[in-house]
């Protein structure tokens, strides 16, 4: 049964390709794990909502490692006066990150402002280290220099992507693959 019209988007990364990349990232995290952890569990943070699908798949592949998981919810909007991006926390962490090596898991990094905000937040909260992992590193609209330790796919084109957690107006998150939405779907 089709949930969405197949003519609304073009598949960029199949379910199989995504799984391959998640597996490769999980393998690299495991390799680096012992150097980073100081014997303490690493704290993995899922940035709601988009990273949910990636996060669940990734953490299940780390089942032989001692990790803690938590979630954070953010809301961002443009300030009407100076157009600055304002990011606020709408769901706080449950675990105090102080002293933990933290790995933040994102579905997509676009301008980089969200992970810049999270880095500052976690460093100020006393995290021992902060690293970032994203499934999609979308570079054309990057506004700030960011260091991302684990990347699934690099996107050089400024396409609007949906699926596997990513949405357009709340839709398409449950597609099992990642697709580029056709511009006619969002350009009026
Ligand atoms: C997306 C994504 C990142 C952020 C990245 O979240 O999950 O958190 O945008 O963009 P940036 O690099 O330009 O800051 P979104 O605000 O779409 O919310 P969602 O995860 O609930 O879909």
Ligand 1 atom closest to Cα of residue 73? 21
Mutate to test the pocket of ligand 1, among 54, 111, 114 (most ligand atoms within 8 A of CB): 114
pLDDT mean over 39-68: 95
Which residues, judged by CB distance below 6 Å to any ligand atom, belong to the binding site of ligand 1? 47-51, 76, 106-114, 167
pLDDT tens digits, one per residue of 151-163:
999 999 999 999 9
- 75 burial (CB, 10 Å; 0-12 / 13-18 / 19+) is exposed
List the chain domain ranges: 16-31+40-161
Asked if omega into 49 is within 30° of 0 (cis), the reply is yes
**pLDDT of 22 strictly over 80:** yes
Mean pLDDT score across all residues of the chain: 93
Using DSSP's 3-state secondary structure scheme, residue 64 falls into coil
- pLDDT class of 1 with cuts at 50, 70, 90: very low
Q: Kindly list the distances between the CA atom of residue 55 and the CA atoms of 10, 19, 104, 185, in Å, as whole numbers in the listed order.
A: 24, 12, 10, 28
pLDDT tens digits, one per residue of 112-166:
999 999 999 999 999 999 999 999 999 999 999 999 999 999 999 999 999 999 9
Q: Which of 3.40.50.2020, 3.40.50.1970, 3.30.420.40, 3.10.129.10 is the CATH number of 16-31+40-161?
A: 3.40.50.2020
pLDDT of residue 3: 62
pLDDT mean over 76-99: 90
110 is catalytic: yes
């Amino acid at each position: 049964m089709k949930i969405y019209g197949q003519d609304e988007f073009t598949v960029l990364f199949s379910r199989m390709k995504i799984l391959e990349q998640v597996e490769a990232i999980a393998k690299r995290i495991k390799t680096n794990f012992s150097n980073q952890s100081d014997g303490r569990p690493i704290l993995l943070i899922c940035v709601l909502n988009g990273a949910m699908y990636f996060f669940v798949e990734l953490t299940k592949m780390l089942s032989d490692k001692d990790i803690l998981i938590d979630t954070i919810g953010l809301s961002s909007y443009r300030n009407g006066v100076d157009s600055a991006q304002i990011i606020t926390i709408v769901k706080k962490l449950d675990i105090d990150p102080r002293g933990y090596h933290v790995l933040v898991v994102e579905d997509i990094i676009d301008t980089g402002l969200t992970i810049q905000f999270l880095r500052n937040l976690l460093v100020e909260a006393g995290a021992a280290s902060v690293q970032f992992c994203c499934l999609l590193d979308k570079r054309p609209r990057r506004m700030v220099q960011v260091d991302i330790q684990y990347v699934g796919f690099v996107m050089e084109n400024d396409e609007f992507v949906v699926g596997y957690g990513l949405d357009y107006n709340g839709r398409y998150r449950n597609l099992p693959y990642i697709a580029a939405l056709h511009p006619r779907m969002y350009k009026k």
